[in-house]
Structure formats: C-alpha cells, structure tokens
Amino acid sequence: MVRKKDLNKQKFNLKNFFLSKINRKITLLFIIVGILAPFLAIFYFYSISISSIPGATSPEIVMLLQTVAYMIIILIALNTGFIGFLLSRSISKPIKELYNATKQIEKGNYDIKLDIKTRDELQRLGEAFNKAASSLAQTKQERQEIDSAKTEFLSITSHELRSPITPMKAQLQMLEQGYLGKLSKKQKESIAIIIRNTDRLDNIIMDFLEISRIEAARLRFNFREIDLSDTVFETTQFMEGFAKEKNIKLVLNLDDLPIIEADPDRLSQILRNLINNAIKFSKQGSKIEINVRKRQNDILFSVKDNGEGITPEDQIRIFEPFYQVEKHSERRYGGTGLGLAICRGIVESQNGKIWVESKPGRGSKFSFTLPLQPVLDIKPIKVLFSQKSLIEKKIKEEFKSMLGPLGENEFEDLKNKNSLGKQDLFSYIDSLTQQYIITFDRGNIFKNKINNIYCEEKQTNNNLNSFKDKLEELKRD
C-alpha cells in the first residue's frame, strides 16, 4: 500500500528532529555526559601532570596541555552528541511511525503494516499494532459484507414482493372496471379500498427499492445542463393540482438562477416530496412558500408551510425511515414513511444537506442544498438503521458536560441547522475558543471528545483510541 511507503520514506528533517522532545532530551543528555566526563578526566590528568612532571609549570607546556585538553573535550562532546542523536533517532523514529499509523487507523485505513526492526520492546509494540490493525481490517470487511448482504436482500425481496402485485392489480382493476360483470355499490366500495391499499403497498416496495439503491450507491443520476427555474416552476405547477384540493396557495420566490448540471428528475422528486408533505400538514386555505436562492457554492431550496409544525424531538428523527410524528400514530397522513429518508439519501449522495426548522404551531421549513457541481462518484449513504439518533444523544451529553446548562440550547440550535457533522462541530468549537467562551485547551478536549464519538461510529475500537492517546503522551514527554 502507498501508506506504508509513505511511512518508511519519511526523510530526516532537522526541524522535526528538534521538535521531537525525545530527540532533544536524549541528545542533550549525551552532550552533557560527553562534556562532563572528559572534563573531569582531563582535570585530574592535568593536575596530576602538573604536580608530577618537573618543569611542567613552564608557560609553553601549560599552554600545550590546555589546548590538548580542550581539543579532547570538544571531540568527545561531538562524538557523544552524535551517538546520542543516532540513539534517540532509533527510539523516536518507530514511535513516530506508530503515531502516524495510528492516525491512519483513525481515518479508517486498516490495511497498514508497520515494519519496525529494533529488536526490542518497540518492535514488539509494532507487531502487536499490526495484529490489531489486521483484526480491525477483518472486522471492517465482515461488516461491509453484512452491509451489502442486507442491501442485496432488500433489493431482491423488493423485486420479489413486487411481482405478485402485477396480477393483483390487474384483477382488481378488471373487477372495478366491470370486466367481470356489474358490481353493487358496496362491492365497489370494497374494491376501492383494496385497490388503494394495493397501490400503497406497491409504493412502499418501490421506496424500499429506492433505498436499496441509495445504500448500495446504485442510485442513478441523469445529469445534464438545466435551467433550474424551469424545473422548479414545472414541479410547482404540477403540485398545484394537489394544493387546490385543500385550497392552498403555492407561492414561488426564485432568485436569478444559473444554468447548472443537475438531474431535473431527482430535483423534482425531492421538491414534490417536500411540497406534498407541506400540503398534507397545512390547513385549508393556507399558503406554502417555495424559495430558491443561489449561494456561494450551492443552491438553497426551501419549502415553508404554516401548518402545525414539528416538535424538536421529532425534528431530529424526521429523516429516519418509517418515522412518523408521534401525534399522528394513526397514520392518517398516509404515505410510506420513507419519503424524507429517500430525500435525505438523494441530497446527501450529491454532497448536499437537508434539514428542517420548525416551531410547533407555527409551521415548518424544510431546506436542502444542491452543490453547483454534480457529484459523479456516488457514495453509499446509510438510510436504514442509521445511528444518527444515538450519536446525537452522545453529542448532547458532551455539550452539557462542556458548556453546562447553556450546552443544551446550543446543541438544539446546531441540531436544527443540521450542523452536527464533525466538521461543523469543530468549527463551532473554534468559534467558541476565538470568542474566549472556553479556553483553547478546553476546546481541544471538547474536540477530542467529539472526535471519539464519531470514531466510534466508524467502529474504531475504543482501545485503539486510548492506545493512540498513550502514544501521543509518549511523544509529548
């Protein structure tokens, strides 16, 4: 692997060498010993020779002896300094390698091998490290296999579930349309209910298929240069049909939008979903605002309704699959419960963000961003069984312990902005230290804790983290 090469190739660098405390200490120690030892030796040699050799007190001889003495001192000091340098390097280099390798592990690169040949405890540490790394790599691989098996299973079962729907739907529609004779009013009602639910079942299966695609990075985008205003306008016009049923007005506010490369169908899919939700949760005769604005690096879309709003508790979980707002456990709003999860999958696979801002009783505003450049290399996004809520809980705890009672509010604020990503939190902590709200050191502790939470998500072994901490300590000392 490249990484291994990188590690071994590390060239000697004077600056780094002096920055390393171990190197400085050992070299200094050797230089002191190297000066003191010969100094003492020569001092005795000098005093003995002066007292025992007759005529040694003559100035010439004293000069000569002094010069020889200084020469010896300097030479030995240089020598011991050099030996100290080599010795300290032989200790600090493998430690540095271990440190770098551990950093790689933290990033999730488990296929890393250290080659420390010092024939001492450090070599054994290196070997233990290699074993730990390879077992982590194995765990990671097993996990990926389970993951892909899950996705595969989802995809296959969804296809299999879909095939019986075809004859069911055909027969039901034949009944409904009188192919098999006239129906009584009650029979018609019954058939209507069956058809409605068959369609719903089919929608759920289709959504499952979509999720299996998102999770397997098999989501297909059809990018082409489009005028965003057209797509937004057409989608809004299409949704107006549904809005009219509840006498709801759709208001469109468009910036001057650039022509960018994007998939109009996917964009429309997300917008339809959000507008559809907004209609569902709006009162008769109210207004829904659709705003589209160009920002520096992306386009910001938002759909704002004046409906009943969403509680903070529900706001975190609303993008999870099958999560329906508690109050509506009757599921009177229909739908598959997968719409927002799919939206999140589509938005995030294009490196965008999707979030909600809401106050109960005062409506909700769903926003998402679309980067100006399309992402061609689609990454798998975890939609099902996401650990999001678990992580958020842990982050919330850290906020409370680091910032006291203020922490909870701050956490909720960030969460509502959907800014709980590692990078978001790091820049938030930076802003705290810059405003002297917390000290720099405390900021670093905070960052470490956040980092640990996210590392756990990557299933990095906890022990490894403490191992890394120890190494860091070792380096610092």
Partner 1 sequence: MKKTVLVVDDESDVRKSVRMILETNGYKVIEAKDGDDCIKKVKNKDFDLVLLDIMMPGVPVREVIKHITDVKIIFMSVVRISDARRQGLTAQGNVVDFLQKPFNVSDLVERVKINIED
Nearer to partner 1, 87 or 165 (CB): 165
- Helix, strand, coil distribution of the chain in percent, nearest 5: 65, 10, 25
Nearer residue to partner 1 within complex by CB, 163 or 435: 163
Which residue shows structure tokens 């430690």? 95
**What angle do helix axes 422-434 and 405-416 make, rounded to 10 degrees?**
130
Strand, helix or coil for residue 386: coil
What interhelical angle do 462-476 and 121-176 show, nearest 10?
140
* SS3 of 6-70: HHHHCCCCHHHHHHCHHHHHHHHHHHHHHHHHHHHHHHHHHHHHHHHCCCCCCHHHHHHHHHHHH
Q: Give the distance, in angstroms, between the CA of residue 141 and the centroid of all CA atoms in the same chain.
A: 19
DSSP 8-state secondary structure symbol assigned to residue 437: S
The C-alpha atoms of residue 347 and residue 354 are separated, in whole angstroms, by 7
Select the residue interacting with partner 1 from 43, 153, 179, 238 (CB under 8 A): 179
Rule CB under 8 A: choose which of 171, 187, 439, 466 binds partner 1: 171
CB of 308 to partner 1, least distance (A): 35
As measured in angstroms, the least distance from the Cβ of 202 to partner 1 is: 6
Cα–Cα nearest to 210, from 200, 219, 202, 201? 219
Q: Which residue, 153 or 179, has its beta carbon nearer to partner 1?
A: 179
Judged by beta carbon, residue 36 or residue 174, the one nearer partner 1 is 174
254/235 Cα distance (integer angstroms)? 13
- Minimum gap (Å) between residue 319 Cβ and partner 1: 25
**Does 456 help bind partner 1 (rule: CB under 8 A)?**
no
* Nearest distance, CB of residue 165 and partner 1, angstroms: 5
In the complex, minimum distance from the CB of residue 276 to partner 1, in angstroms, rounded to a whole number: 21
Distance from C-alpha of 469 to C-alpha of 474, rounded to nearest angstrom: 9
Query: Which helix or strand (DSSP H or E) is residue 257 part of?
Result: none
- Minimum Å distance from CB 166 to partner 1? 4
- In the window 60-99, what residues touch partner 1 (CB under 8 A)? none
Q: Which is nearer to partner 1, 150 or 162 (CB)?
A: 162
**Residue 345: burial class (beta carbons within 10 Å; 0-12, 13-18, 19+):** buried
Residue from 9, 11, 185, 220 in contact with partner 1 (CB under 8 A) = 220
Of 166 and 431, which has the nearer Cβ to partner 1?
Answer: 166
In terms of CB distance, is 179 or 385 closer to partner 1? 179
Residue 197 touches partner 1, criterion: CB under 8 A:
no
Q: By CB under 8 A, which span of 47-55, 173-181, 293-301, 309-317 interacts with partner 1? A: 173-181
Burial class (CB in 10 A: 0-12, 13-18, 19+), 435: exposed
- CA–CA dist 212, 273 (Å, integer): 19
**How would DSSP label each residue in 398-435?**
HHHHHHTHHHHHHHHHHHHTT--SHHHHHHHHHHHHHT
**To the nearest whole angstrom, how small is the minimum distance from the Cβ of residue 164 to partner 1?**
8
170 scored as a contact of partner 1 (CB under 8 A): yes
Hey, which residues between 127 and 166 contact partner 1 (CB under 8 A)?
Answer: 159, 162-166
- Total residues contacting partner 1 by CB under 8 A comes to 18
Asked whether the beta carbons of 450 and 407 are under 8 A apart, the reply is no
> Which residue among 49, 144, 177, 431 contacts partner 1 (CB under 8 A)?
177
Please give the residues from 222 up to 281 whose contact with partner 1 meets the rule CB under 8 A: 222
Nearer to partner 1, 159 or 246 (CB): 159
Q: Is there binding between residue 204 and partner 1 (CB under 8 A)?
A: no
Nearer to partner 1, 140 or 188 (CB): 188
Binding of partner 1 by 202 (CB under 8 A) = yes
- Nearest distance from residue 217's CB to partner 1, in Å? 16
Write down the least CB distance from residue 227 to partner 1, Å. Answer: 23
Q: Which is nearer to partner 1, 131 or 159 (CB)?
A: 159
Per CB under 8 A, the list member of 4, 140, 169, 400 interacting with partner 1 is 169
Q: Is 112 left (phi over 0), alpha (psi -120 to 50) or beta?
A: beta
d(CA 452, CA 466) in angstroms, rounded, equals 10
CB closer to partner 1, 202 vs 289: 202
Could you tell me the smallest distance in angstroms from the CB atom of residue 170 to partner 1? 4
Closest CB 367 distance from partner 1, rounded Å: 29
Shorter beta-carbon distance to partner 1: residue 202 or 255: 202
Site for partner 1 contains 284 (CB under 8 A): no
H or E element at residue 281: none
325 binds partner 1 (CB under 8 A): no
| Binding of partner 1 by 173 (CB under 8 A) | yes
Distance (Å, whole) CA 18 – CA 262: 52
Check binding of 447 to partner 1 (CB under 8 A).
Answer: no
Applying CB under 8 A, the residues found at the interface with partner 1 are 159, 162-171, 173-174, 177, 179, 202, 220, 222
